[in-house]
Structure 1
Amino acid sequence: MTIDFTLTPQQRVLQEAARDFAQNVLRPVVREADDEPDPLRAFNLTRPAYQEAVKRGIAFSMLPKQYGGGGLSNVDFVIAAEEICAVDPGFATTILVNGLGLMPVWYYGTEEQKERFISRATSDTSGEFIVGYAASEPPGSPGGTANFDAPAVNGAGMSVTATLDGDEYVVNGRKYWPCNVGGWDNRGADLNLVVVRTDREADGTRGLSALIVERGTPGVTYSSISTSGQRLAPNCEIVFDDARVPAANLIEGTRGNGDLLINRNFAWSGPVAGIAAVGVARAAYEAALEWAKTYTAGGPQPIIEYQYPGYVLGDVATKIEAARYFCWKGAHYIDEHDYHGELIGAMNKVLCTEMLFDCVYKCMQVVGVNSVDRRHLFERYLREASVLPLYDAGNFGMQRRRIHGVMAHSSFDPRALMDNRAVDFDKSMEGIDTVPGPRAERSEPFVSA
């Protein structure tokens, strides 16, 4: 029995539907929104496309059917995501973050919480329901999002605190970079999943949890961040000033396990970020190939007939194909292993997003100086290529550290991914590289929803 990379008839239909949405609904708004200097206005220019994405079942397609979602497998999701990312990865990030905000409720929430939050999102009829995910915090010391799982207590990891006061948590601190969290008007997304420090005396592997902060919660303010790439994805700073959140909004399985939530979230999004890189690289490659087949540079034939452009574009095409199938492998692995893929998800993210920058620049070399003319979109592809290795858990500090932590552990089997066997991820694999000196093995058991 052979390994089959052929899409099923249903997957072909899904791919064509995503391509139709990307080309005919999303593409017409991308240039204006990308050029708009005001980030909140830029985001709102995508609102009709988002409403159509809700109508077509795209916006919550990753959520389980049991709670009203589309029920797509991870493989199906990345097949569809590539088509959207080839047109604009920022808009695709907006869709992705709906999942980053609600998938943890599915993993770790009580049945009541799943119905209250997931079903509420999927049953909304406005076409504008949006969900945020807030983990990242401002740079500075003490703190640092990249060290969220550090074993040190004082100054390590996240500093947004949630203190229990009766039947409410009082939340204070700042988040920086979270996507979707401001909603359409910077008054808050409908639901925001926020990773907070619920135990000030515990380290990053024991003191973090996740709360759902609902739109209209007093004491929470949002302000837009203007970014160089992913301009159609709305990033914000959040300030919590004695914001009171019902204790019932703490996602039960994340109590003291916010570190595992973060790692699992970014494992799930690894193949999606990887396929975003494939989509952008594909767009740059196809544009450069078309240029090479029609541009003569004053010579007797199009430049594709010459060795250098042909070899360079051949290398680019090869990398795109390899990255696409690695993302399919990662998504399939996560489907097979209860939505755990902390190792392979990080590998997807690192390999594919760093491949992207090289591919885009090589395409620009083929096109030459004309590639910096904004009419040809290469400058936008280059901006996106610079962002992808840095966002969605940076390749340095978070993604590579997860790979390192798994690989250095005494239980690591280097052939596990090859054999499609589970690679368990637990707290003893966290915190590597975050403090100087030898790392002590911790004995906490693997925690799974």
Structure 2
Amino acid sequence: MIDFQLSPEQLAMRNAVRGFAQANLKTARSVYENREAPLPKWQDRFRSLEPIYAEAVKAGLIKAQIPKELGGAGGPLIEAALVVEEFYAIETSASLNILGTGLGLTPLIMAGSSEQHQKYFKPFLDGTGTPLASLVFSEPEGSANFAERGSSGFQTVARLEGDEYVISGWDDRGAEVSCVVCRVPDSAPAEDVRGQTAIIVVTREDIAANDHGAYTVLSHPETIGLTAANGPHIRFKDLRVPKFNLLAPPGKGADVVEMTFTASATLVGAMGVGMMRQTFDRVLAWAKSNHRGSKEAMIHKQSVADLLIKIKTRCEAARALVWKAACCFGTTRFGAELCYEAKILGSESAVESVKDAIYLVGVSAYSRSEPFGDLLNDAMVLPIFDGGNVGVRRRQIENIFNNDAYDPWETTFGPQG
């Protein structure tokens, strides 16, 4: 039997998250944009959202990003997708700051030892403060080809000296707990950059224990959208951490990173669904309340209705694929394909849907007083971050198609006899 109905527990969770989003995220943009007295620096915009993040911690939304079996409150990926959609149906930047901690913790969840879990999860399970986690992956020269044999690989490198790893390089995030993807050059032949790739945990305590110049925030690129999200460029210069901090050894790091971004692909698809929901709700209300000089509301114009139908159909189709991908993640041989496809469909459909909403409303949608310009700026990042659809995701699907054992419909219907 095929059943798209949520369980009573899932419905209760979704309703609780929706309530949190309505209470805490609905006014977030007015906080960090503050158009009457704009906050010019990214640090100020990011920090303006700290009270919202603190409320997310109190509500258990950070603890829920750690699985129950590891002491958290998290469930399967489908539940994370429900949370993401509810957040993005209301707001983006504040939502990304909350959800980014889940991405940062994922390598630790997947590869950490019980001792590492006990040490590093503690601030995220207490339900107090504003603990952040990040996945330190992106580099200024790009990371799409980090594991390609013979390439230069990550420019962030670590060398083992006695009982410490010494990290140097360029990266772009900092948090309470950071999972730093890097190369250990002497661990494999020079051309085998995948074999050299490792993940090492860096904490704020580690940074404080080093010289001041070992960790430097160099800059923060101003982005078109998501203007309160945190993404500074960081430099490590001979930063020393204990051997205990090695999370994924050379040769295993690339696998952990790829599995992390497979799960997150599904959630980016859910972000797109949430943004399409927000777009549809706003433009439907506009079409029902605006006459634009006509004797009837715009909803009665066929050209307007056609655009509304396209937006709603994309939203429903993308959600169905996100849910299917979430259910298949880690359970079938080629379930990753659906995760990547959910990311592509959800993200690209979100961009097209916001554009259609702007076309529907017309030139007044170009006004800063309308939400559609902000929605488009925020939606544009979905196809290009978390593994760009061109540089990463479509290539991952191509590799699956090229697998000799690939059965196109096995993930859909199960193994074919």
**By the TM > 0.5 criterion, same fold?**
yes
Residue number among 77, 97, 101 corresponding to 1:98 in the alignment: 101
Q: Tell me the CA shift for residue 51 of structure 1.
A: 0.6
Deviations, residues 278-334 of structure 1 (Å, cap 9, x unaligned): 111111111111111111111110011011001110111011000011111111112
Q: Given that residues 62 and 74 in structure 1 are in contact (C-alpha distance below 8 angstroms), is that contact kept between their aligned partners in structure 2?
A: no
Question: For the residues of structure 1 that align with 2:414 and 2:104, how far apart are their CA atoms?
Answer: 28
Q: Which residue of 2 aligns with 1:191?
A: 177
Question: For the residues of structure 2 that align with 1:112 and 1:415, how far apart are their CA atoms?
Answer: 41
Q: Tell me the CA shift for residue 351 of structure 1.
A: 1.3
Q: Which runs of 5+ in 1 are unaligned?
A: 183-188, 423-449
Sequence identity, in percent? 31
Q: Which residue of 2 aligns with 1:295?
A: 290
Distance 1:420 1:43, change over 3 A: farther
Structure 2 length-normalised TM: 0.92
Q: Which residue of 1 aligns with 2:155?
A: 159
Q: Tell me the CA shift for residue 25 of structure 1.
A: 1.1
SS in 2 for 1:242: strand
Q: Given that residues 50 and 59 in structure 1 are in contact (C-alpha distance below 8 angstroms), is that contact kept between their aligned partners in structure 2?
A: no
Question: For the residues of structure 1 that align with 2:414 and 2:66, how far apart are their CA atoms?
Answer: 24
**Which residues in structure 2 correspond to 1:136-215 (within 5 Å)?**
136-139=138-141, 144-153=142-151, 155=152, 157-176=153-172, 181-182=173-174, 189-199=175-185, 201-215=190-204
Question: For the residues of structure 2 that align with 1:69 and 1:421, how far apart are their CA atoms?
Answer: 34
Q: Tell me the CA shift for residue 248 of structure 1.
A: 1.0
> Is residue 332 of structure 1 aligned with residue 321 of structure 2?
no
> Is residue 398 of structure 1 aligned with residue 392 of structure 2?
yes
Distance 1:416 1:90, change over 3 A: farther
Question: For the residues of structure 2 that align with 1:62 and 1:202, how far apart are their CA atoms?
Answer: 36
SS in 1 for 2:26: helix
Q: Tell me the CA shift for residue 194 of structure 1.
A: 0.5
Deviations, residues 84-119 of structure 1 (Å, cap 9, x unaligned): 11122222222332222222222212221121112x
Q: Which residue of 2 aligns with 1:366?
A: 360
SS in 1 for 2:413: coil
Q: Which residue of 1 aligns with 2:7?
A: 8
Question: For the residues of structure 2 that align with 1:275 and 1:193, how far apart are their CA atoms?
Answer: 24
Q: Tell me the CA shift for residue 28 of structure 1.
A: 1.8
Q: Tell me the CA shift for residue 420 of structure 1.
A: 4.5
Structure 1 length-normalised TM: 0.85
Amino acid at match of 2:163: D
Amino acid at match of 1:204: V
SS in 1 for 2:178: strand
Amino acid at match of 2:383: P
SS in 2 for 1:15: helix
Q: Which runs of 5+ in 2 are unaligned?
A: none
Q: Given that residues 89 and 230 in structure 1 are in contact (C-alpha distance below 8 angstroms), is that contact kept between their aligned partners in structure 2?
A: yes
Q: Given that residues 86 and 279 in structure 1 are in contact (C-alpha distance below 8 angstroms), is that contact kept between their aligned partners in structure 2?
A: yes
Question: For the residues of structure 2 that align with 1:50 and 1:421, how far apart are their CA atoms?
Answer: 44
Amino acid at match of 1:151: R
Question: For the residues of structure 1 that align with 2:196 and 2:394, how far apart are their CA atoms?
Answer: 23
Distance 1:164 1:265, change over 3 A: same
Q: Given that residues 263 and 329 in structure 2 are in contact (C-alpha distance below 8 angstroms), is that contact kept between their aligned partners in structure 1?
A: yes
> Is residue 260 of structure 1 aligned with residue 262 of structure 2?
no
Deviations, residues 388-425 of structure 1 (Å, cap 9, x unaligned): 11111111211111111111122222122213569xxx
Residue number among 348, 354, 357 corresponding to 1:354 in the alignment: 348
Question: For the residues of structure 1 that align with 2:393 and 2:276, how far apart are their CA atoms?
Answer: 21
Question: For the residues of structure 2 that align with 1:256 and 1:138, how far apart are their CA atoms?
Answer: 23
Amino acid at match of 2:235: V
Question: For the residues of structure 2 that align with 1:17 and 1:262, how far apart are their CA atoms?
Answer: 31
Which segment is superposed worse, 162-171 or 411-420? 411-420
Q: Given that residues 267 and 341 in structure 1 are in contact (C-alpha distance below 8 angstroms), is that contact kept between their aligned partners in structure 2?
A: no
What is the root-mean-square deviation of aligned Cα atoms in Å?
1.9
Distance 1:37 1:228, change over 3 A: farther
Question: For the residues of structure 2 that align with 1:406 and 1:22, how far apart are their CA atoms?
Answer: 37
Q: Given that residues 98 and 130 in structure 1 are in contact (C-alpha distance below 8 angstroms), is that contact kept between their aligned partners in structure 2?
A: yes
Question: For the residues of structure 1 that align with 2:70 and 2:243, how far apart are their CA atoms?
Answer: 23
Could you list the structure 1 runs, at least 4 aligned residues long, displaced by more than 6 angstroms after superposition.
none
Question: For the residues of structure 1 that align with 2:332 and 2:303, how far apart are their CA atoms?
Answer: 44
Q: Given that residues 74 and 335 in structure 1 are in contact (C-alpha distance below 8 angstroms), is that contact kept between their aligned partners in structure 2?
A: no
Q: Tell me the CA shift for residue 125 of structure 1.
A: 4.8
**Which residues in structure 2 correspond to 1:266-345 (within 5 Å)?**
266-334=261-329, 336=331, 341-345=335-339
Amino acid at match of 1:344: L
> Is residue 23 of structure 1 aligned with residue 22 of structure 2?
yes
> Is residue 242 of structure 1 aligned with residue 238 of structure 2?
yes
Amino acid at match of 1:242: D
Amino acid at match of 1:170: V
Q: Tell me the CA shift for residue 225 of structure 1.
A: 2.9
Question: For the residues of structure 2 that align with 1:264 and 1:228, how far apart are their CA atoms?
Answer: 29
Question: For the residues of structure 2 that align with 1:361 and 1:328, how far apart are their CA atoms?
Answer: 25
Amino acid at match of 1:50: Y
Deviations, residues 14-73 of structure 1 (Å, cap 9, x unaligned): 111111111111212222314533211111111111111011111231211233311222
Deviations, residues 345-384 of structure 1 (Å, cap 9, x unaligned): 2111111101111110001111111111122210111001
Distance 1:116 1:202, change over 3 A: farther
SS in 1 for 2:404: coil
Residue number among 36, 42, 52 corresponding to 1:49 in the alignment: 52
SS in 2 for 1:376: coil
Q: Given that residues 107 and 257 in structure 2 are in contact (C-alpha distance below 8 angstroms), is that contact kept between their aligned partners in structure 1?
A: no
Q: Given that residues 168 and 244 in structure 1 are in contact (C-alpha distance below 8 angstroms), is that contact kept between their aligned partners in structure 2?
A: yes
Question: For the residues of structure 2 that align with 1:421 and 1:359, how far apart are their CA atoms?
Answer: 35
SS in 1 for 2:344: helix
Which segment is superposed worse, 283-292 or 61-70? 61-70
